[in-house]
């Protein structure tokens, strides 16, 4: 199951293409990030993709595949590419990440591997999924 949550705390369980697209399109100051989590009791760890609309109107994307060592980040100016990434990740579509150059930022999270997802940007932090 996919759960999409924005900065204001609006959560959509069983998130669809339409719901994710609307949530992304509504990002702005005061509601600048969203998280899409894969909730599956059979997979240990944290599985999510998140996006931050930065002040310069670029989209910072991050995804994590289970463990801190598999936490990656990229930036795009295209809302369409950000949406394609969110939907591709959500559908587990092979090669969804190939359109980007991803940086592994997992070492920033290894010591806090038990913590909930946080965007790795400056001093600001994303609210933890489910508590946004």
pLDDT in tens, 40-91: 777 777 899 999 999 999 999 999 988 888 899 999 999 999 999 999 999 9
pLDDT on residue 117: 52
> What is the chain's Cα-based Rg?
13
pLDDT on residue 119: 57
16-to-36, 69, 87 alpha-carbon distances in Å: 11, 28, 9
Higher pLDDT, 3 or 106: 3
Q: What angle do CA 15, 20, 21 make, to 5 degrees?
A: 145
Is residue 124 predicted with pLDDT exceeding 50?
no
pLDDT on residue 120: 54
Across the range 6-26, mean pLDDT stands at 95
What secondary structure letter does DSSP report for 28? B
pTM of the model: 0.80
Is residue 6 predicted with pLDDT exceeding 70?
yes
**Residue range 94-122, pLDDT digits in tens:** 999 999 999 998 888 776 545 555 555 44
Q: How many CA atoms lie within 13 A of 110 on its CB side?
A: 5
DSSP letters for 57-97: S-EEEEEEEESGGGEEEEEES-HHHHHHHHHHHHTT-TTGG
């Amino acid at each position: 199951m996919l759960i999409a949550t924005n900065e204001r705390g609006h959560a959509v369980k069983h998130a669809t293409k339409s719901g994710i697209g609307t949530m992304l399109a509504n990002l702005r100051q005061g509601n600048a990030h969203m998280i899409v989590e894969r909730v599956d009791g059979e997979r240990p760890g944290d599985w999510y993709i998140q996006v931050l609309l930065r002040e310069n109107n670029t989209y910072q994307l991050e995804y994590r595949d289970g463990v801190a060592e598999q936490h990656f980040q990229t930036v795009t100016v295209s809302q369409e590419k950000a949406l394609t990434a969110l939907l591709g990740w959500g559908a587990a579509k092979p090669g969804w990440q190939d359109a980007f150059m991803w940086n592994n930022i997992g070492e920033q999270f290894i010591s806090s591997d038990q913590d909930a997802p946080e965007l790795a940007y400056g001093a600001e932090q994303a609210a933890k999924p489910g508590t946004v």
